Amino acid sequence: MVILGAVVNGICIIIGTLLGKLLSSIPESMKGTVMHTIGLAVTVLGLQMGLKSENFLVVILSLVIGAVIGEWLQLEEKLKSLGDWLETKVGSKGEGSISVGFVTATLIFAIGAMGILGALDSGIRGNHDVLFTKAIIDGFISLILTTTLGIGVLFSAVPVILYEGAIAIFATQIDSFVSEKLMSQFITEMTATGGIMIFAIGLNLLGFIKIKVANLLPGLLVVGIIVSIIYGYNLYV
């Protein structure tokens, strides 16, 4: 099944969340320290990914254009509204904000090289090893996030499955209209663009600043368009 890796990823997030609920009695000081540790790790990971770009101008343009589109569409607000709606349905006193947990976890799990590369590998080669590995990592992260951000983390499993599943299904047909060279550059620049977003998520988790990362998400589509145009006219330097 081409979406097996995506489904397993979502299941691990759910399992991690449920285990996190069982461990909700962890002291607040420990939760804060663990959350800051995750924030540091996420920040370093994002920086590492961001530096992989071979043409950082592409990344900058993608992020700026994506930010304009995201602000116009108010993606952050819509994601938060969805989280708030979930909170009215299943929230309870004493839990972390479902909207914050949902948005934060969705961004952490959905943005990144492993999700993109893993889903592409699932679709192109039928190999789910990358997504299986990501599933284990996400399961552990969801456990930790849940102890601080609450049950909202669980609902992030849905967009993760849809996102990775859609890429995997698309990838089954990608060979027929995208060259290997173009795909390589697309993955490189998308990884770098996503890395900057992950870096921003890390800063948010550390409490240094509040960046509306969801409003940057269109940049992941914009980078594909820019790379395609540049390669189409042989402008890449």
Q: Which domain holds residue 120?
A: 4-231
Instruction: Look up residue 111 and give its DSSP letter.
Output: S
CB 155 within 8 A of CB 142: no
pLDDT in tens, 173-203: 876 777 777 878 888 898 888 889 889 888 9
Tell me the C-alpha distance between 187 and 168, whole Å: 14
Our count of domains for the chain comes to 1
Note whether residue 62 is domain-resident.
yes
Q: Name the one residue in this structure whose structure tokens are 């949902």.
A: 102
Torsion of CA 80, 6, 115, 13, to 10 degrees: 50
Note whether residue 237 is domain-resident.
no
Note whether residue 173 is domain-resident.
yes
How many C-alpha atoms does 119 have within 13 Å on its Cβ side?
A: 27
Tell me the C-alpha distance between 130 and 113, whole Å: 10
Measure CA of the first residue to CA of the last residue in the chain; give whole Å.
39
Note whether residue 236 is domain-resident.
no
- Indicate the residue type of 146: T
To the nearest whole percent, how much of the chain has pLDDT over 70? 89
Higher pLDDT, 85 or 196: 196
Tell me the C-alpha distance between 204 and 33, whole Å: 15
Q: What is the pTM of this model?
A: 0.74
Note whether residue 189 is domain-resident.
yes
Note whether residue 47 is domain-resident.
yes
Note the pLDDT of residue 101. 83
Average pLDDT of 127-144?
88
Average pLDDT of 24-38?
75
Instruction: Look up residue 215 and give its DSSP letter.
Output: G
Asked if pLDDT for residue 121 goes beyond 90, the answer is no
Model confidence band, residue 86 (pLDDT cutoffs 50, 70, 90) = low
Tell me the C-alpha distance between 165 and 131, whole Å: 11
Note whether residue 94 is domain-resident.
yes
Note the pLDDT of residue 234. 67
